[in-house]
C-alpha cells in the first residue's frame, strides 16, 4: 500500500538516486538554464522574451505550417540532418576515446568527392546516388585515416592532426575544384547533375520546396546502425573499451592500435556522409576557401547529446530550430540574431558543466534523504 502511493518527493529521490538518471537529466537542465539566460538577456535589452521565443519557433517550424506550408519545418530538418551526421561523427569518436576536431575537413573532402562524381559521372539517379553516398563515406574515412594511423602507430594526438587536416582539406579541395570542376565564378565549383542530387521531388513538394532531402532517411539509418554497433556488438564493446582504458584493453587481449584506426575511419565516414547531405542535398556545389562550420557545431551537438546516437538526434533538432529560427527572430523584431548564438553558447557552456550539475543533483538528493531519515528518527523517538 505504502509503495503504490509514493509522494512526488519520494519518487524524485528514488529516480535520481540512480547515477545514470542524473546523467540523463543534465542536458535538459543545461537547455533550461540556457533559455532562461536568454530570457534574462532579452529583458535586459528591453525586448519581450516571450515574443522572442515564439518568433524562434515560428521561424523554424510553425510559420505557415497550419496553412499547409511546410517549408520552414523542411529547412530546419535539412539543417538538423547535417548536424546529426557531424554530431554523430564526433560522438562516435568520443565514445571510443578520440577527440575528432577534424569533422569539418572530413565533411568537406567527402563533399568534394560527391560534387566531383556528381559532375563527371552520368548514371541513372538511383545508381548515381548510391555511388556518391558510398564515395562520400570513403572520402571522409580517407581524410580521417591519416590522423588515425598517426594516433594508432605513433600516439600522436589526434586533436592536433585532425584540426590541421581541416586546412589541408580546404586548400586541396580548392586546387582540384579549380582544376577539374571550375564553376562559373572563381569562388565555387560547378553544379552537380540532377541525377546526383539528394533532393527528391516527392519530399521537396511535400515540404513546399524546402531543402529537405533523402539524406534525412540515411541519417536515421546511420543513427540506428551506429547505436547497434556500439551497444549490441562485441566490436563496439571493444572500441569503447579501448577508449576507456587502452592499457587494460591491451591486457585483456584486444588489438588496441587496430581499434583506434577503425574508430577514426568510422567517425570520418560519418563525417563524409555529412558532406553528401550538405553538398548534394543543400548547396549542390562546393564553395572554395572555407571549411564548413558544421564540424565545430557537431562537437556541441555531441556534447549536449551525451554522445549517444539518439541524444545526438534530439540535440541536432534543437540546434536546427535555434539556427533557422534566429534569423526570423532578427527579421520580425529588433532582437539581434546574435542572441541565438549566445543562447546556444550558454547551453553548451552549461552542458560542459554537466558534471557540476550532476554534482549539485547528487548533493540535493543526499540532503533530501538525510532529512527524511531525520523525520523517521524523530517519529521513532516520539
The footprint of another protein (CB under 8 A) covers: 51, 54, 57-59, 62-63, 66, 71, 75, 78, 184-187, 191, 211, 282-283, 287, 289, 323-324, 326-328, 330-332, 334, 337
Q: How far is the CB of 4 from another protein (least distance, A)?
A: 19
The answer to whether 125 and 197 are in contact (CB under 8 A) is no
With 0-12 / 13-18 / 19 or more C-beta atoms within 10 angstroms meaning exposed / middle / buried, residue 312 is buried
Q: How far is the CB of 317 from another protein (least distance, A)?
A: 16
Of 10 and 327, nearer to another protein (C-beta) is 327
The answer to whether 304 and 68 are in contact (CB under 8 A) is no
29: closest CA among 16, 43, 18?
16
Please report where in the chains the cell 564548413 appears, as a residue.
Answer: 292
Q: What is the largest CA-CA distance in the chain?
A: 89
**Helix boundaries (H) for 207-286:** 215-232, 234-244, 246-251, 256-278
Strand partners, 189: 182
* Beta carbons within 8 Å of 134's beta carbon, 6+ residues apart: none
271: closest CA among 98, 118, 83?
83
Q: How far is the CB of 211 from another protein (least distance, A)?
A: 5
Kindly report the length of the chain.
382
Q: How far is the CB of 136 from another protein (least distance, A)?
A: 18
Q: How far is the CB of 18 from another protein (least distance, A)?
A: 21
Which backbone phi and psi does 212 adopt, to 5 degrees? -60, 140
Measured in Å, how far apart are the chain's first and last C-alpha atoms?
A: 24
Of 144 and 196, nearer to another protein (C-beta) is 196
The answer to whether 308 and 236 are in contact (CB under 8 A) is no
Distance between CA atoms of 344 and 340, rounded to whole angstroms?
6
Of 184 and 367, nearer to another protein (C-beta) is 184
The answer to whether 105 and 291 are in contact (CB under 8 A) is yes
Q: How far is the CB of 301 from another protein (least distance, A)?
A: 16
Q: How far is the CB of 327 from another protein (least distance, A)?
A: 5
3-class DSSP assignment, residue 271: helix
Of 257 and 333, nearer to another protein (C-beta) is 333
The answer to whether 330 and 13 are in contact (CB under 8 A) is no
Q: How far is the CB of 324 from another protein (least distance, A)?
A: 7
Of 19 and 48, nearer to another protein (C-beta) is 48
Q: How far is the CB of 250 from another protein (least distance, A)?
A: 44
Of 220 and 289, nearer to another protein (C-beta) is 289
CB atoms within 10 A of CB 40: 10
Of 191 and 353, nearer to another protein (C-beta) is 191
Of 24 and 240, nearer to another protein (C-beta) is 24
Of 6 and 374, nearer to another protein (C-beta) is 6
Distance between CA atoms of 227 and 310, rounded to whole angstroms?
8
Of 276 and 365, nearer to another protein (C-beta) is 276
Q: How far is the CB of 86 from another protein (least distance, A)?
A: 14
Amino acid at each position: 500500500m505504502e509503495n503504490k502511493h509514493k509522494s512526488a518527493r519520494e519518487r524524485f529521490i528514488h529516480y535520481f538516486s540512480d547515477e545514470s538518471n542524473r546523467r540523463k537529466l543534465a542536458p535538459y537542465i543545461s537547455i533550461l538554464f540556457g533559455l532562461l539566460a536568454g530570457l534574462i538577456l532579452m529583458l535586459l535589452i528591453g525586448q519581450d522574451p516571450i515574443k522572442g521565443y515564439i518568433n524562434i519557433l515560428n521561424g523554424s517550424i510553425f510559420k505557415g505550417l497550419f496553412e499547409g506550408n511546410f517549408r520552414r519545418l523542411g529547412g530546419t530538418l535539412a539543417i538538423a540532418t547535417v548536424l546529426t551526421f557531424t554530431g554523430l561523427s564526433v560522438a562516435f569518436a568520443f565514445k571510443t576515446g578520440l577527440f575528432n576536431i577534424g569533422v569539418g575537413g572530413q565533411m568537406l573532402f567527402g563533399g568534394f568527392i560527391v560534387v566531383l562524381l556528381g559532375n563527371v559521372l552520368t548514371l541513372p539517379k538511383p545508381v548515381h546516388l548510391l555511388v556518391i553516398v558510398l564515395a562520400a563515406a570513403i572520402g571522409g574515412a580517407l581524410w580521417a585515416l591519416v590522423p588515425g594511423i598517426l594516433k594508432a602507430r605513433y600516439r600522436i594526438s589526434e586533436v592536433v592532426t585532425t584540426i590541421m587536416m581541416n586546412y589541408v582539406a580546404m586548400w586541396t579541395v580548392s586546387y582540384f575544384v579549380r582544376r577539374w570542376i571550375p564553376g562559373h565564378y572563381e569562388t565555387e565549383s560547378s553544379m552537380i547533375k540532377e541525377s546526383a542530387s539528394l533532393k527528391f521531388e516527392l519530399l521537396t513538394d511535400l515540404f513546399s520546396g524546402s531543402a529537405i532531402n533523402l539524406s534525412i532517411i540515411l541519417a536515421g539509418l546511420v543513427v540506428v546502425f551506429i547505436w547497434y554497433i556500439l551497444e549490441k556488438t562485441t566490436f563496439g564493446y571493444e572500441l569503447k573499451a579501448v577508449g576507456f582504458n587502452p592499457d587494460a584493453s591491451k591486457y585483456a587481449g584486444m588489438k588496441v592500435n587496430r581499434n583506434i584506426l577503425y574508430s577514426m575511419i568510422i567517425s570520418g565516414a560519418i563525417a563524409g556522409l555529412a558532406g553528401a547531405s550538405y553538398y548534394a542535398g543543400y548547396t549542390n556545389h562546393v564553395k572554395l576557401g572555407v571549411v564548413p562550420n558544421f564540424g565545430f557545431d557537431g562537437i556541441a551537438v555531441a556534447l549536449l547529446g551525451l554522445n549517444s546516437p539518439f541524444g545526438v538526434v534530439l540535440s541536432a533538432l534543437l540546434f536546427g530550430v535555434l539556427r533557422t529560427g534566429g534569423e526570423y527572430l532578427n527579421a520580425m523584431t529588433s532582437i539581434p540574431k546574435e542572441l541565438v548564438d549566445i543562447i546556444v553558447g550558454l547551453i553548451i557552456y552549461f552542458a560542459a558543466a554537466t558534471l557540476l550539475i550532476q554534482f549539485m543533483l547528487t548533493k540535493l538528493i543526499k540532503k533530501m534523504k538525510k532529512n527524511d531519515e531525520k523525520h523517521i528518527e524523530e517519529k521513532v523517538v516520539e
